Structure formats: C-alpha cells, structure tokens
Structure 1
Amino acid sequence: MRLWAVKAILWKELLDLSRDYKTLAYVVVLPLVALPGLAIFSGGLYSAQSMDVYIVDEDGSEISSLFAEGLAEYLESGLPGVAVNVEILSGVEGFDTPFGSIAVVIPEGFSRGLEDLDGRVSIRLVVTPGSPLAGQVASLVEGYASLFEEAVVESRVSRLAEAAGVEVDVERLLDPLEVEREYIGFGGGAAGARGEAVAMSARVVAFSLFFVVNPAIVFVSDSIVGERERRTLEKLLLTGASRLEILVGKVAAAAALGLAAAAADSLALVAFFTLSGFSLLLSPLLVASWAASSALLVILTAGITAFISARSETIRSAQSGSFIVLMVALAIYFSALVVDYSRLPAWLSILLQAIPFTHASLAVIKASVGDLAATTIHMAVLTGFTALFIAAAAREFSSERIILLR
C-alpha cells in the first residue's frame, strides 16, 4: 500500500466533504448548538411553569394553622425557579378544586386526632393527573407531611416518657439504627463519594458513544455507493490507486470527519448536563478512554459500513443495512445506563462481548473505577474487531464487486 496514493484519496474525500456545507453543519455545528440550546429551552420552559395550590383548613385550630403555614412555606421554596402559588383557605368546607391545580384538605378533627396518643388523622390531596409538575408538588406535600409526622411522634414519645418518669433521648429512641455508606474502589481502597460520582458519570459517557457511530455510516455509504451511483467511482479506479488504498483513504476521511463530529457531540453533551444542573465528574483516565474509544468506534463503524456498502446496490439499501448496526449500538449504549455488565450471567456476558460496541462501553466504565488493566484489555479487543472489519471490507472492496455487484 502506497502512502502517497492513500493521501491523494484522503484529500479528495475531504475536499468533497468540505464542499457539503449542510452536512458539515449537521454533524459538527448542529450538536454544539442543539444540545445546549435544548437544555436552555427546556430549562426556560420548566421555569415558566406555575402551579396553584389551595390549602383548605376545615379544622381551623392552632395546630392545623401551623401545619398549613409550614406547608405553604415548604411548597413555595421547594421547587427553585418554578412559581408555586399557595393560598390558605380557613373555615371552608366542600371546596371545589379547579382543574389543573392541587388542593390539600385538612379535615375537621385534625388537631384532636394528633393530640391523642393513639390518634390518627388523614389529609386529602387532590391532584389533576397527567401533569409532571403536579406530581412534583404532590411529592413535596407528602414529604412535608412526613416531617410533620415525625415531630408529632417525637412529641408523643416525650409525653409518654414524662408520664412514666423516665428520661429518654427521643431521637435515639425513634432512630436506633443508622447506615453509613462506604465506597470501595478498584483494588480494595476507599473510593469515596467522588468515586461514585465518576462511576455514574461514566454511564452517561458510555451512552454518548452512540452518537459517534451515526456520522461514519452516512459518510462511508455515500462515499462508496454514492460515488457508484454518480458514476465517479470508475474514474477513481482508473487513477492507478489500488482498491485497498482507495478503501483506506475513504475510511480515513470518514474517520477524520467522524472524530470531529464525535468531539462536537461530546462537548455538547457535557454542556447539556452542565446547563441542566447535572455536571459530569470526569477523571483523566475516563476522558482518555472516552477519546480512544470514540476514535476506534469511528474507524470500526466505517469498516462495517464499507463492507455493507460494497454489497449494496443503492445508497438507501447501504444506509438501511448500516442502520441495523446502529440499532445494535443503541441497544448496547442505552443498556449501559442501567445495567452492570459484571453482574450478568457468564453466558450472557460472553454473548454481549461478541459485539464490538460492548467493549467500548466496558472500557469507559472500567476506566471510571481506575481499572487500567481491564480498560486496556477492552481497548485491545475493540482494536482487534476494528482491524477485522477493515480487513473484511478490503476483501469485499474489489473493482468488479463495487462496480458490477458481482
């Protein structure tokens, strides 16, 4: 394989891609604008919401008033950026809750039930279904009721202890068991809360690898089948460049633009989470494995797409076949958000590791816990899969097949 011939093909492909401003904007510029814009847009819409809450105090006692006022303050400060408008209605019975709002009804006998040592009362929470904001406010109401309940129980225990003439630590009496969480890192050392945050961030990073796969599919299928449909591939074969040199040049061009797209997607993803208030915590090893996995994935996907394109009659059939590969990648990277691969049965783990995309995900996840050996192994396996598919594509990339489909 002659390097100058590969460079010529690569330069030709990059020139073709550079003239397609819409594609460049779609794969590089659009993610940098769209994902942060989506976070800002969603955040703006979220802040623009408002919810009317009516606290109906049918009891009209001092305790019910204390509950109502405390709940109102809790709701108004419980969802930063969202307007929760609370109105306390005292002495009102049979209140008709307006559609789309929430009513908290404190029934008559509320204070008497709480004052009795074995008394029990219920408050009614009237919610309109189908509203995410209503669900959040309802959860706040339930949370405040739980806090108020704790205070009532502590008061009852204090009264019982006083009547019995004994001294007790009410907090210890009601909460005798405490759980202290510790994180064990790779090798048995303490990981701490930071280690947990890095490991959870790695799940998001592993999912982001899905966005690396798509650009290479589009570029390579158009570069091979598109050129055949435009009748320019024959001229390329007449230049004297070998089929391997043509293939490597095309894959290298797709990889270059694919990596640019991957970098844009990655930066956009970090910006999205930062603007959404969920900043990712990344370690140097995690970032390095993320970058290396992205590079290998672009080349791997280009090789798979080149193999499929060499056997496809039209660019549509090439992209359709390649998007099946994309769906497999989506399944792997989406599952990385919720599945611990090390907890799977051995037979299922082996089956998943027969899929090359799995190793990119595992390399990132292992890097997040500092397991350099496992990260290296998965990167090596991913490299092997990449070389295998490039070799398979080179074998299929014959002059007769790519022109005549024979």
Structure 2
Amino acid sequence: MLTLLRKEWLDVKRDKKLLVGTLVLPFFILPLIGFVLYASVVSQPPIVELINNSPANSVYVNEVAFYITSHGGIVVNQNDSNVTPDVILTFPKGFYSNLTSLGGKGLVYMTVQISSNTKAQDLVDNALYNVLYNVSLSRISELINDSHTNVSPVNIREPLEVVYTYITPTHHITTQARDQLVELARIIALVLFPSATPVIFFITDGITGEKERRTLESLLASPISPMEFIVSKLFISMFLGLMSSLGDLIGIFVFSLFASFIFGVSLALSSSFAILIVVIYIETVLLTAAISLILLLIFGGSTRNIQIINFLVLSFGMVASFSALFINLAQVTFPLSLIYIIPYEQLSASLLFYVFGLPGESIFYLSVTLIASILLLFLSSRIFNPERLLLK
C-alpha cells in the first residue's frame, strides 16, 4: 500500500501543471476575485445628484444629503459634469411650502439610471422616508397642540409594536442571532457542496489516466488488491481535491467572520461550528470521491461517461444546496422526507440541525454519510474488474 501511494505521489509531482493548477492558482484566483468585488464596491459607491429649485427647500435637501453621505453614498450637484449619478433627485419650487403646510403634499422627482448602482435608489428611498417620518410627527404634534390633548405623537404615528420571540424547531426559546446563524448556514450549504466537485476530476483521471498512459495493465499485474488500488487513488484524489478547494473553504470562513456586518447583528461563531464545517467539507469530498468512483466503474472511463458522472454528482450537490436554502429540513414529512435518499442531503441536514440546536441529529446524519461513503468504497473494490475497465 505504501509503495502504491508513493508511486501515486511521484506521478503527481511529475505533473507540474497539475500542481500549479491545483495548489497555487486557487490562492491567487480566489483572492483576486474577492479583491475585484471589494474594489467594485469601494470604488463605485452610490452617487446621487440633488437638484434644488428653491432656496426654501434647503433644510430638507440638506437632511436628505446628510442621510445619503452618512450611509456611504456620495452627493453631487449639477455643476459636477464629470460625474454620472446613479439617481437624480429634484426638489421643485413649492416643495417646502407644500410639505410644511398641514394639508399639503410635497412632490419630488426621481430619475434613475438603468444598470446603475441599485443601492443608490435604496438610499434615496430611505432618506425620503426619514423626511416623511419627521414631517408626519411634526404634523401630528401640531394637531395635538390644537386639540389640547396629551398623547404621544410617536404612538399615533406608530400605533402597533411587535415583540419578537424566536424559537427552535424543538420549541426552545432562542435569539435573533441564532436565526441569522441559520441563514448563514443555508448560504454556506449553498456554496459548500459545489466547491468539492474538483475531486470528481481527480478520481476519474487518476484511473482513466493510467489507462491512457498504458500503465494500467502493468499496475494491475502487480501483486496489489483492488482495495489497495482504489484506496491509493482515493487518498491522492482527496488530497488534491481538498487542496484545490482550500481557497473556497477559507472564503467560507472569511464570509462567516464578516457575516455580522452583512446581517447587521452579532453572530457568535463558535469553534464547534467551525469544526463542523470542516468535518462536513471533508465528508463531502469523501462522498464525492466514493460516488464518482462507483459511477466510473459502472459506466466506464470514456470521456463521454466522465462528463455524465460529473453532471450527476454536481446535480446531487446542487439539489442538496438549494434544498438547504429553501426547505426547512426540520419539518419535512413523508413523502418530502424521501429527499434524504439523495446524496449530500444528509450533510445539509447535519449543518442545519446543528444550528437548529439538535446536535444529536447532526451527528447522526454525519455518521450516516460516513458509513455510506465507506460502503460505496467497499462495493467499488468488490465490483472492480480490471479487464472490463481496460476494454471500456
């Protein structure tokens, strides 16, 4: 076994292009993509042009401008000819008098440039709502003073208050942070399974490559068992698959660290949650390799069949990813519960059940996946037929 593993490693080291593409490029490409996305946000903040057709409007124009700039936007005027605004907001004459009169209605004109920064329109809408809110409180206060009643303007403006309580699927009280952690887990599941697909290429190429190099005959003629042959290919393929996807895993952790800024709440990302992600990722790679191997032995190692294998495994992963995003796995009943038969669904369930506060179920589905992967590998070693593989 050690001799075969050493041989596999030597074959990998001889292929310099494979090493560069597998181990080096992800550490440059993925950070480059992240840098471009970050630069696109930083270098292209939402730009709003404010046009004021009456000096009397200045108090509200300044209020809108302050809101936009304090929330990351840039405010320009008509004299900035070198800047193309995402949104143009025009305050016409009479806006101030209409807005300050008890029965009046202020009118503004908003011009939105198509394919522009969508955050600009959201900023303007929120800024105008802020003005609307303050003006409505002012009008309510005026009416209260005229009627000589003692009530709160805020209570009249907002007569309904909602008190939120969050519970787990087991009906235990939890926090909003836990609810946001569930959403984070769904997003992680969405990107986790497809990121493990490089191992499909490594496991299929590891076997069919021996056939193409005409070394499979001599290798199989040596005193090695089918299990040793399969395990050696599996170890090397998993190693390369893990390394090629390491950038994705790092990206997931970076995303998790900054999730509190994205969701606007404080997320307590425990070490156990991080360990669970790593374990699920490793099991994902193992299951991907096991499924790819059994399909390769069933369909054969032609180029067309390898494409079919890649399509099938990727489809399983995408089904699990989207079901984790859109389905509450803690509440599925028959016949929808049959989705657990689909590969990778168990790993989606493991991740979600953990954040649901059900560690026992999470461990159960992890164990089921591990056992299923081992059984598939054992079955592959039993049905492995060197002569049949050579003829395909």
When the two structures are superposed, what TM-score results if normalisation uses the length of structure 2?
0.88
2:86 and 2:120 in contact (8 A); partners too = no
1:299 corresponds to which residue? 286
1:53 and 1:104 in contact (8 A); partners too = yes
- Return the structure number with greater relative CO, CA threshold 8 A, min gap 6: 1
Q: Are residues 1:226 and 2:219 paired?
A: no
The aligned amino acid for 2:114 is P
Alpha-carbon separation, structure 2, partners of 1:344 and 1:378: 15
Task: State the 1:379 CA deviation.
Answer: 1.2
Q: Are residues 1:78 and 2:71 paired?
A: yes
1:238 corresponds to which residue? 221
1:390 corresponds to which residue? 377
Deviations 1:190-218 (A, max 9, x none): 43233234323322332232245322211
Alpha-carbon separation, structure 1, partners of 2:149 and 2:251: 62
2:320 corresponds to which residue? 332
State the secondary structure of the residue aligned to 1:395: helix
Structure 2: which 5+ runs fail to align? none
Alpha-carbon separation, structure 2, partners of 1:294 and 1:334: 17
Task: State the 1:301 CA deviation.
Answer: 1.6
1:211 and 1:262 in contact (8 A); partners too = no
Q: Are residues 1:87 and 2:77 paired?
A: yes
2:200 and 2:292 in contact (8 A); partners too = yes
1:224 and 1:309 in contact (8 A); partners too = no
Deviations 1:236-264 (A, max 9, x none): 11111122221122112222333334444
1:366 and 1:375 in contact (8 A); partners too = yes
User: Cα distance 1:177–1:275, how it changes in 2: closer, same or farther (>3 A)?
Assistant: closer
Matches within 5 A, 1:272-283: 278=262, 282-283=269-270
Query: Among residues 143, 168, 171, which one is paired with 1:160 in the alignment?
Result: 143
Task: State the 1:104 CA deviation.
Answer: 1.1
1:381 corresponds to which residue? 368
2:89 and 2:108 in contact (8 A); partners too = yes
User: Cα distance 1:347–1:227, how it changes in 2: closer, same or farther (>3 A)?
Assistant: same
1:254 and 1:302 in contact (8 A); partners too = yes
2:192 and 2:281 in contact (8 A); partners too = yes
Query: Among residues 6, 10, 17, which one is paired with 1:11 in the alignment?
Result: 6
2:154 corresponds to which residue? 171
1:305 and 1:318 in contact (8 A); partners too = no
1:111 corresponds to which residue? 96
Identity level (%):
26
Task: State the 1:43 CA deviation.
Answer: 1.1
User: Cα distance 1:336–1:147, how it changes in 2: closer, same or farther (>3 A)?
Assistant: same
Q: Are residues 1:200 and 2:183 paired?
A: yes
Alpha-carbon separation, structure 2, partners of 1:269 and 1:22: 26
Structure 1: which 5+ runs fail to align? 1-5, 90-95
The aligned amino acid for 1:7 is L
Alpha-carbon separation, structure 1, partners of 2:106 and 2:47: 25
State the secondary structure of the residue aligned to 1:179: coil
Deviations 1:35-84 (A, max 9, x none): 233222211122222565332223442xx2111111122222322xx6x2
1:142 corresponds to which residue? 125
Task: State the 1:108 CA deviation.
Answer: 2.5
User: Cα distance 1:169–1:32, how it changes in 2: closer, same or farther (>3 A)?
Assistant: same
State the secondary structure of the residue aligned to 2:364: helix
1:256 corresponds to which residue? 239
Deviations 1:273-309 (A, max 9, x none): 6579649753333223322222222222212222232
Alpha-carbon separation, structure 1, partners of 2:11 and 2:183: 40
Q: Are residues 1:126 and 2:111 paired?
A: yes
When the two structures are superposed, what TM-score results if normalisation uses the length of structure 1?
0.85
The aligned amino acid for 2:64 is L
Alpha-carbon separation, structure 1, partners of 2:163 and 2:286: 46
2:49 and 2:85 in contact (8 A); partners too = no
State the secondary structure of the residue aligned to 2:237: helix
Alpha-carbon separation, structure 2, partners of 1:303 and 1:218: 12
Deviates most, 16-25 or 140-149? 16-25
1:93 corresponds to which residue? none
User: Cα distance 1:282–1:16, how it changes in 2: closer, same or farther (>3 A)?
Assistant: farther
Deviations 1:303-328 (A, max 9, x none): 22222323455452343022111132
State the secondary structure of the residue aligned to 1:307: helix
The aligned amino acid for 1:183 is Y
Deviates most, 8-17 or 189-198? 189-198
User: Cα distance 1:105–1:22, how it changes in 2: closer, same or farther (>3 A)?
Assistant: same
The aligned amino acid for 2:254 is A
Matched residues, number: 385
The aligned amino acid for 1:116 is S
The aligned amino acid for 2:367 is A
Alpha-carbon separation, structure 2, partners of 1:118 and 1:162: 16
Alpha-carbon separation, structure 2, partners of 1:38 and 1:212: 15
User: Cα distance 1:270–1:106, how it changes in 2: closer, same or farther (>3 A)?
Assistant: same
Task: State the 1:140 CA deviation.
Answer: 1.2
